[in-house]
Amino acid sequence: MSVSDPLLKDLKGYAQQLLEVQGPIKDSNEYVSKFCECLEKIFQQGLSCINYSSMSFRPSGIWDWLELMADNRMGDSYSYQMAVNNVKECAKIKKNIGRARLLIRTCLVKKCLHVPVHNYLMFTDWKHVFSSQSILGDDILCQILYSVLLWVGRLNFELDLNNSRFLDVTWDLPVTKKLELVPCKKMGVTVIFVEGKAVCFDIQKNSVAAEDDVVQVGDIIDELNGNVITTSSQGSLNNLMRKTAGFPISIYLIKAKWKNNLFPPIVPLLVAAKLDISSIRQKQMAEQDAKVLIKNEMAKSSITYIGNVSTGSLGDVKQIAGGINQILSGKGNQIDSLVTFECLDLGVKVTDKAQAKILLKHSYMEIASCGCAVDIPYYFAYIASDGLCSQSDNFVCYVFHCNIQSEIDTILNSIGQGFKRTHYVV
């Protein structure tokens, strides 16, 4: 075989692109999947049957030999052995090809992707695994591959290893979201299990899950409160909710939407669940258009954190107008900073735009009231305590200015919804 190979050349090119990245390498980098897919082809090239013992044989496969290279007799490769064990325990993967793909990604994070090639080079008993016409079956090319993997092992990969549900069928990764919802007895989601995956079939109106469309029909609940959701979870989702009653609900969600369309491997699941694909697509497109409009509106708007003033032991909405008037007359703490105002699942966050510094952060449980003064347009405020409202006698009014009234209305409505939801739960 020649001292060059097209696959090895491609792998070195992708590695070079990764080496040029400043900072951690994430899944959003296009060369991560290209590198992994190319390496999979190299590991598959020329693979023959593997003799596990004198009595048994298994069909050739990438996972078979990668697992074999974690044998304790291969020497000190603890990080690689742990990576293999972690993949074995992953309930999201059902096929060996998926295990091999997850192992490659895990080894990138743990910096041990060179170990199986090193062990293969060191122990001649396994030389029969690859044909002499393959990269791993050629001593020189195998050494070059080993050096490339050592090279890549110096890089800092921050990959989402939880995003592994569809590695059985593709290297493409779906869009995922980690959500933290307020404590509640029911999320308001009806799921149907298709091929072991919990597909969201219906979202109850005005439920926690329906707020801001965080969970949508066609999405897949991959994990709930840290538990992987599989076919065995059918009938036990309510039990998982009850075990964490009174605490925020954490969800790891696989979105149906992918690159302005639907994630291809999800489509057959939606068909099997008898969901209307065209309806889901239309909603995704409408949502995309709405986001563009909101982005354009936000580009035109600006919110200024004017300042704050104490309202003593009173936190009701009647104090809003007085608080705004006091700040505008120069009393209290004058801030005057351009900010971003975010209404999150559990509270509000105000960040200084220039310094990217968080100025305010209050949970809805700490917010007593919000509103604006009728006779003073474009100003709004909320009043919060330094703890739970019901247990506090020290309230502060935080005053803001925004040049778009519709944005003020959206913020106040969001705070009001969060306030009612969290207080209702308690």
Residue 59: per-residue pLDDT:
42
0.85 exceeded by pTM:
no
Residue 48: per-residue pLDDT:
67
Both structure tokens of 409: 């209305």
Strand ranges (E), 231-314: 249-254, 257-258, 261-262, 303-312
**Final residue of a domain: which of 249, 283, 317?**
283
Residue 423: per-residue pLDDT:
46
Tell me, yes or no, whether 260 lies in a domain: yes
Residue 1: per-residue pLDDT:
45
Alpha-carbon distance 17 to 34, whole Å?
11
- Give the domain extent around 310: 301-423
Both structure tokens of 48: 């023959």
Residues of the chain below pLDDT 70: 1-3, 48-60, 72-76, 124-127, 212, 244, 285, 287-301, 388-391, 420-426
Alpha-carbon distance 341 to 361, whole Å?
10
Residue 282: per-residue pLDDT:
82
Claim to verify: residue 36 and residue 137 sit in the same structural domain: yes
Q: Domain with 398 in it: what CATH number?
A: 2.30.29.30
Residue 358: per-residue pLDDT:
93
Q: Domain with 217 in it: what CATH number?
A: 2.30.42.10
**Final residue of a domain: which of 153, 168, 198?**
153
Q: How many domains does the chain fold into?
A: 3
Tell me, yes or no, whether 379 lies in a domain: yes
Tell me, yes or no, whether 164 lies in a domain: no
Alpha-carbon distance 336 to 392, whole Å?
27
Claim to verify: residue 317 and residue 385 sit in the same structural domain: yes
25-26 and 157-158 beta bridge pairing: parallel
Q: Domain with 135 in it: what CATH number?
A: 1.20.58.900
Alpha-carbon distance 334 to 245, whole Å?
41
Alpha-carbon distance 25 to 27, whole Å?
7
